[in-house]
Amino acid sequence: MSIANDKSIPSWDNSKIYSDFDDPAIEADISRIQTNTKTIAELAESLQQPLQESQFDQIEKILTVYDQTLILLATLYTYGSSGTSVDVKDAAASKLCVRMGSVDAELEQAFTVVDQLLIQADEKIFDALFTRSSIEAQKFGFAYMRKFRVHYLSADEEVVLAAVKPDGLEAWGRLYSELAGSLRCTVNGKEVGLAEASNLVRGADAATRLSAWEGIQAAWKGGEIPAAAILNAINGWRHQENKLRSKVQDLHYLDVSCRQSRIERETLNSLMTTVYEKRAIGQKALVTMAKGMGVERLGPQDILAPCPVAEGSEPAYYPFDQAIEIVAEAFSEFDPEMGEFAQMMYKNNWIDALPSESRSTGAYCTEFANVREPRVFMTWDGSIGNVITLAHELGHAWHNWVMRDMPEPNTHYPMTLAETASIFAETLVRDALFAKAKSDQDRYDIAWQDAEGAAAFLINIPSRFEFEQRMVEQRRDTYIPADELSTMMEQSWEKWYEDSLTGYDPMFWASKLHFSIAGLGFYNYPYLFGYLFSLGIYAQKDKLGENFRGAYRELLRDTGRMTAEELVEKHLGKDIRQPEFWLDSIAIVEGLVSRFETLVEDQ
């Protein structure tokens, strides 16, 4: 069995949302958004500071219309981005995404007066407003943003900023996606797209991995000038915006990231400092993987390689339908409904995994907000690593699903807590596969995934954080050309990987999408947070027994209405500002790496 004859690989069916990009319903929904935007602007026109009880009816109506409009907006944007994911050259999908950016900007401009009124309101007046049941669910989001009121600009300034973002900051992010979709790589003499080349880097053949890695390096080297311009423009914009918002109190770039992640700087510092002190565990995983592959050290092209198999054997290919069965069975052992959900995602064609010519790289989970239906995007290659990726994305989808009956404003969780559900799902599948392994090779396969994960989360993710910090600091002073970005990336890898590899990845700053996401900086440490946090939660599974299933669901449901510190305090009774919390989870990782080391020695 191979990808070529695997007929079970799904493509998603979004016809329930819109029939196609010519569907008249798209124009009708855009018209509704524009009408609602006009309504909000008219209602907000007479509002004045400070917020008074006499304005409550007006504010309640605006917030109700705004909430409904955001759902329409999110649905349209998800529909557009689902099209560009499958084919980055899809002009109709791209046009819709760009158009929705402009429509969104107009909505935010209209809402700015209300936003300012709520952010600056007297505490008692603010609390009194949100006793109204129709808008009560929106209180947490506004209350959280009130903590950062000193960094708000005037209403007029906020309007201008919202107006120029679609064709400014956000345009650079779109350009990156188009650039990545257009690049071609030569692998073993064959021209392929970046998504296919990225899968080949995860393949079993060492020569093909190297050829694919070199092909990706060459492709991005050829596109390094626009890639560097994109990264500089995005971070230059952020720096200037932060300066504007620092009139009353300095706004540090990490404060912006922590606000988006709903964690405190103290928590981030504790996490990164503790992991750096324990980086030897991730390095040990890499050294042991090299031993398993029969080489002195891994190269940068090998860090995602699959588990070696006996000479003359081929790595197992997992047909997609078999992968769904594996994931669903592992989920069901923990929660039968979770297993049924995974099967439903597949049967309903809510997953797109079929390789295509101009496909986006990576994997993600999204949602159609109007019908509360999740979608998963990935590119199938049939490896055990792909099975784990499928579990990861379905973990995100399950997180969305258990919140589908909640008020929509309470379902917006931060990156840190988003990655918790996904990595918890991965762990369920890994543990189930290891427990049911029928041979040493099967156990070795799963332990290899554990080791690969330890290296990725304890070394690779922190090296991304290291690079981004260095890059942001330097960009505050000057433009950073491509060759300096490459040097900076190698220095960041060197700090974390040290001598555990034969070399580093100089073009990683360009090839890793996360650095060029326009609306989101430092999309790296949330994975590390989620990895260690989920292991801490997972450790409670056996302790709580049957009660854990319900407790886990309640934890997921709270992620949209609490900070990370509040969530952990409520559900685990622990303080994530302290190193002890992270050390407990790192000890679990160390145990997994030691188990892997034993299996390698027995090979």
Q: What is the DSSP string of 558-591?
A: HTTSS-HHHHHHHHH---TTSHHHHHHHHHHHHH
Between helix 525-538 and helix 415-435 the angle, nearest 10°, is 50
Per-residue pLDDT reduced to its tens digit, 28-63: 999 999 999 999 999 999 898 899 999 999 999 999
For residue 335, what are the CA distances in angstroms to 374, 549, 553, 559? 19, 7, 10, 19
Q: Cis peptide before 50, with omega less than 30 degrees from 0?
A: yes
CATH number at residue 53: 1.20.140.70
| Residue 43 included in any domain | yes
pLDDT value at position 312? 65
Please provide residue 241's backbone torsions phi and psi, each rounded to the nearest 5 degrees: -65, -45
| Residue 462 included in any domain | no
Count structural domains, the chain: 1
Question: What would the two tokens of residue 251 be?
Answer: 């706004």
| Residue 127 included in any domain | yes
**Containing structural domain, residue 35:** 24-165
Greater confidence (107 vs 195) lies with: 107
pLDDT at 224 over 80: yes
| Residue 242 included in any domain | no
Per-residue pLDDT reduced to its tens digit, 476-513: 999 999 999 999 999 999 999 999 999 999 999 999 99
The beta-carbon contacts of 407-412 under 8 Å, at least 24 apart in sequence, are 407/137, 408/67, 408/70, 408/71, 408/137, 408/369, 409/67, 409/137, 409/138, 409/140, 409/141, 409/560, 410/137, 410/140, 410/560, 410/561, 411/560, 412/141, 412/560
| Residue 4 included in any domain | no
| Cα–Cα dist 352/13, whole Å | 8
| Residue 496 included in any domain | no
Going by C-alpha positions, the residue among 361, 447, 414 that lies closest to residue 520 is: 414
| Residue 144 included in any domain | yes
Residue 429 near residue 449 (C-beta atoms within 8 A): no
- Count of CB atoms situated within 10 Å of the CB of 122: 11
**Entry pTM:** 0.90
CB-based burial label for 124 (10 Å; 0-12, 13-18, 19+): exposed
| Residue 592 included in any domain | no
Going by C-alpha positions, the residue among 455, 483, 521, 210 that lies closest to residue 491 is: 483
Task: Give the pairing of strands 351-352 and 373-377.
Answer: parallel
pLDDT at 21 over 80: yes
Per-residue pLDDT reduced to its tens digit, 504-547: 999 999 999 999 999 899 999 999 999 999 998 888 887 888 88
| Cα–Cα dist 432/423, whole Å | 14
Per-residue pLDDT reduced to its tens digit, 281-324: 999 999 999 999 999 999 999 999 999 987 767 778 999 999 99
Confidence category of residue 567, pLDDT binned at 50, 70, 90: very high
| Cα–Cα dist 140/566, whole Å | 13
pLDDT value at position 507? 98
Map 359-403 to HEC letters. Answer: CCCCCEEEEECCCCEEEEECCCCCCHHHHHHHHHHHHHHHHHHCC
Question: What would the two tokens of residue 400 be?
Answer: 């969305």
Q: What average pLDDT does the structure give for the chain?
A: 94
Per-residue pLDDT reduced to its tens digit, 323-347: 999 999 999 999 999 999 999 999 9
pLDDT value at position 385? 86
